[in-house]
Amino acid sequence: MRTVLKWAGIVVGALVLVVVVGGFVASRVGAANIARVHEVPVTSLTIPTDSAALARGAHLAGIYGCQDCHGADLSGQVMAEEGPARIVASNLTPAGIGGEYEPEDWDRAIRHGVGVDGTALFVMPSGAYHNISDAEAVDLIAYLETLPPVEKDLPPMEYTLLGKLLAAGPLDLSKGVYVDPTPTSSPAPGATVEYGAYVAEGLCAYCHGEGLVGKEADQPGAPFAPNLAASGQWPPEQFHQTMTTGVRPDGREMDPEFMPWTMTAKMTHDEREGVRLYLATLAE
C-alpha cells in the first residue's frame, strides 16, 4: 500500500512539474508574441489645418466611436482590470500620446493597429478603420492634433499571466494588425450607394463579416452578428430610427456594447441614408 501511495505521489508530483514548466514556457512564448514588432506600410500624410478639415475630423471621431473607448474628452480611461490584461485606452490629448505622436504614428495606430514601438495594440479595432481613406484619415488626425491637453493619471496597459498564456496560442494579437495598403480616396459623404458601401464594407463589416453576411463574434459572450441584408429592407424611417435610438422595428433594444448605434446616431441623415441604400442592394 505504501508503495502504491509512493508511486502515486511521484506521478502527481511529475504532473505538477510538467504543468508548471509548461506554463512557464507558454508564458515566455506569449510574452515574446506580445513584444513582437510588426512592420506595416505607413503613408506619408500631409495634415490640413483649415476649419472645414477640423470640423470633418471631429465628426469622424464621433461616428468612428473614438469617445466610446477613450472617453468624452479623449483623455483615456481604464476599460478593464480583469481577464487577460488591464486594458487602458490611451490619453489622446497632448498631455498623453497626442503630445508624442507624429502623423505617421497616428496612422499606424488607427489604420494598422500598431503602436509607436511596433507592437500590436490589443483591443484597438483597426479592422474597422483600415479602409478609411487618406482623405478622411488626415482630417481625423488634424482634429486629434488640436485637442486641448487633459492631464490624467492612467496606469499602463499590462498583461496578466493568463493573458501571456493565451498569447502563446488562442489570443493571436497579429490578427489585429493590418498590413495591406490603405485607400487614398473615398466617395463624397452623402446619400449614395457608393458612400454607403465605403462605410458599410469597412465599419460594419468589422463585426458582420465580409459581404455583411454575418459573423461569429470574436469577443467572448458577444452575440452572433447577423446578415444585414434584412435591415436594408426596413422602411427608411424605421431604419433611421433604429440607427439613432437603438430600438429595432420589433421593439427590441440593441446593446450598444455589441451594436454601436451610438456611433451611427452621430452620422448625418444623408450618411446613414447612404448606408441604408447600400444595404438595400444586398438582397438583390
Interatomic CA distance for residues 138 and 134, integer angstroms: 6
pLDDT of 136 over the 50 cut: yes
- Rounded to the nearest integer, the mean pLDDT of the chain is 90
Give the mean pLDDT of 38-55: 94
Name the fold adopted by 193-281.
Answer: Cytochrome Bc1 Complex; Chain D, domain 2 (1.10.760)
For residue 209, name the pLDDT band (cuts at 50, 70, 90).
very high
Instruction: Report the range out of 80-84, 248-252, 274-278 with the highest average pLDDT.
Output: 274-278
Q: In the chain, where do the E strands start and end?
A: 77-80, 85-89, 158-159
Under 8 Å between Cβ of 106 and 114 = no
Give the mean pLDDT of 162-189: 89
Q: Residue 15: what pLDDT?
A: 53
What class does CATH assign to 51-163?
Answer: mainly alpha
- Indicate the domain borders of the chain: 51-163, 193-281
pTM: 0.88
Interatomic CA distance for residues 58 and 37, integer angstroms: 31
Q: Residue 3: what pLDDT?
A: 60
Interatomic CA distance for residues 20 and 112, integer angstroms: 36
160 by Cβ neighbours in 10 Å (0-12 / 13-18 / 19+) ranks as middle
List the one residue out of 153, 227, 138, 257 whose CA is nearest residue 186: 138
Specify the 3-state DSSP secondary structure of 36.
Answer: coil
Give ∠ CA 90-162-160 in degrees, rounded to 5: 40
Contacts of 182 (CB under 8 A, 6+ apart): 43, 107, 111, 130, 131, 132, 133, 134, 137
- To the nearest 5 percent, what fractions of the chain are helix, strand and coil? 50, 5, 45
Q: Residue 17: what pLDDT?
A: 45
Q: Residue 18: what pLDDT?
A: 47
C-alpha cell at 127: 479592422
pLDDT tens, residue by residue, 139-158: 999 999 999 999 999 999 99
Instruction: Decide if 51-163 and 193-281 have a common fold.
Output: yes
pLDDT tens, residue by residue, 212-261: 999 998 777 788 999 999 999 999 999 999 999 999 999 999 999 889 99
Q: At what angle do helices 134-144 and 103-112 cross, to 10 degrees?
A: 120
pLDDT tens, residue by residue, 119-130: 999 989 999 999
Give the mean pLDDT of 160-169: 83
